[in-house]
Amino acid sequence: MDTRAALAVAAGKPLEVTTVQLEGPRAGEVMVEIKATGICHTDEFTLSGADPEGLFPAILGHEGAGVVVEVGAGVSSVKKGDHVIPLYTPECRQCPSCLSRKTNLCTAIRATQGQGVMPDGSSRFSIGGKKLHHYMGCSTFANFTVLPEIAVAKIREDAPFDKVCYVGCGVTTGIGAVINTAKVEPGAKAVVFGLGGIGLNVIQGLRLAGADMIIGVDLNNDKKPWGERFGMTHFVNAKDTGADLVAHLVNMTKTPADQIGGADYTFDCTGNVTVMRQALECSHRGWGVSVIIGVAGAGQEIATRPFQLVTGRVWKGTAFGGARGRTDVPKIVDWYMDGKIQIDPMITHTMPLSDINKGFELMHQGKSIRSVVVF
């Protein structure tokens, strides 16, 4: 069949909105009509050519929501008409990683997903007979896409697609980092570096977890009201403190009873390796946990003195907020529908597919928190 899509023709070129061909689902696969998709940094990272693993031509996009329109042979967990969110981290519930209960990084289809093809090694997308690559196992910048059954989360039918698409990446990553990875407890003190689409979700995750002190750090004062809206209690502009940022943050967390100071939990939501070090070093001696969420550029390295770890600080990282997609994503959608978390104010722009390049431009200029394409 034909479907409208934004095609990434080559690195550094704008997306081309065009008609592509899509084959139906094979065994263990489902076809989904994408109703809405967010635009996230990784799409831009790949499109720019900075991603060494980026493949072209490809259909990008990994933050979608839609409806199952057809299922392949043997599919049993979803049926035609079900509302779903595609998962770039699938959940097979059978591989050693899923069975370990220690990680969300399912390995069932990992190799083929990275190669931009379906688990059987072939692509469902083509244009004029020429094969196109899938992207992060999702390819949500197309009105219809084909996904492995293990890479869709079934969600409730009253959830609005143009909002819950954001659960497909940003919301789950931020909230999951707090709940699954850091396991923040009530009364905790936390520092969040970078108040963008991920950092704001970390902040609302911290509020949900009952944190007492939520310090937001950014270079842009415009982010202060944004942070406050989701539960930030203190704001620090890193430009004002300069080299004293870590000492300043440690001081803020000191109490008469605790003159050591430092945050119980810190989160990097910038992807900047210097910030990652600051985040570790402003966490509390003896027990501070620092979680890296930001994805750094290719070849970047992190550094600290081993003393920082020897004295009990813990450096962690998280992918998709440690969430097991098919299990956890429907719950996060429920939290949104029950008013426990907010999504609507973070979606600052919506546009039709024909304007998708404007969404990339807004993200590039730092003018949006999230742009959503509505089909």
- Find the helix or strand (DSSP H, E) in which 100 lies: helix 96-100
C-beta of residue 191 within 8 angstroms of C-beta of residue 267: yes
Q: Which 3 state secondary structure label does DSSP give 128?
A: coil
Active site residue 165: no
Catalytic residue among 83, 98, 133, 207: 98
Stretch in the footprint of Zn ion (CB under 5 A) among 40-48, 72-80, 204-212, 242-250: 40-48
Cis peptide before 57 (omega within 30 of 0): yes
Q: 113 is in the binding site of which of Zn ion, ligand NAD, ligand 022, none (Cβ under 5 to 8 A by kind)?
A: ligand 022
47 Cα distance to chain centroid: 17
Is 198 a binding residue for ligand NAD by CB under 6 A? The answer is yes
Binding mask 116-155 for Zn ion (x = CB under 5 A): ----------------------------------------
Task: Tell me how far apart the alpha carbons of residues 103 and 374 are, in angstroms, rounded to a whole number.
Answer: 33
Q: How far is the CB of 170 from ligand 022 (least distance, A)?
A: 7
Q: Kindly give, in sequence order, each residue whose CB lies less than 8 Å from that of residue 66, ignoring residues fewer than 6 positions away.
A: 32, 33, 34, 35, 36, 83, 84, 86, 145, 161
* Active site (annotated) includes residue 106: yes
295 binds ligand 022 per the rule CB under 6 A? yes
For ligand 022, the closer of residues 174 and 262 by Cβ is 174
Among 199, 205, 325, 359, binds ligand NAD (CB under 6 A): 199
Q: Which residue is nearest to ligand 022 (CB)?
A: 319
Question: Residue 219, interface with ligand NAD (CB under 6 A)?
Answer: yes
- Shortest gap between Cβ of 197 and Zn ion (angstroms)? 8
Q: Which partner from the list ligand 022, ligand NAD, Zn ion, none does 196 bind, CB cut-off 5 to 8 Å by kind?
A: ligand NAD
| Whether 269 is catalytic | no
Count of alpha carbons within 13 angstroms of residue 36, beta-carbon side = 20
Entry field: residues in the chain: 375
- Please give the Cα distance from 25 to 23 (Å, whole number): 7
The yes or no reply on residue 85 touching ligand NAD (CB under 6 A) is no
Selected from 37, 89, 283, 368, the binder of ligand 022 by CB under 6 A is 89
Binding span for ligand 022 by CB under 6 A among 39-47, 159-167, 222-230, 328-336: 39-47
Strands (E), 121-233: 125-127, 130-131, 144-148, 152-155, 189-193, 213-218
Among residues 23, 93, 95, 304, which one is catalytic? Answer: 95
- CA–CA distance, 142 with 139 (Å, rounded to integer): 7
Give the nearest distance from C-beta 136 to ligand 022 in angstroms.
4
Residues 294, 278: Cα–Cα separation, whole Å: 14
Of all helices (H) and strands (E), which one includes residue 32?
strand 29-39
Q: Which amino acid is at 107?
A: T
Longest dimension (CA), the chain: 71
The piece of 106-114, 125-133, 217-225, 228-236 that touches ligand 022 (CB under 6 A) is 106-114
Q: Binding ligand NAD by CB under 6 A: which of 294, 325, 330, 359?
A: 294
Q: Which of 3, 29, 37, 62 is catalytic?
A: 62
Does 110 interact with ligand 022 (rule: CB under 6 A)? Answer: yes
Residues identified as active-site: 40-42, 62-63, 92, 95, 98, 106, 110, 169, 370
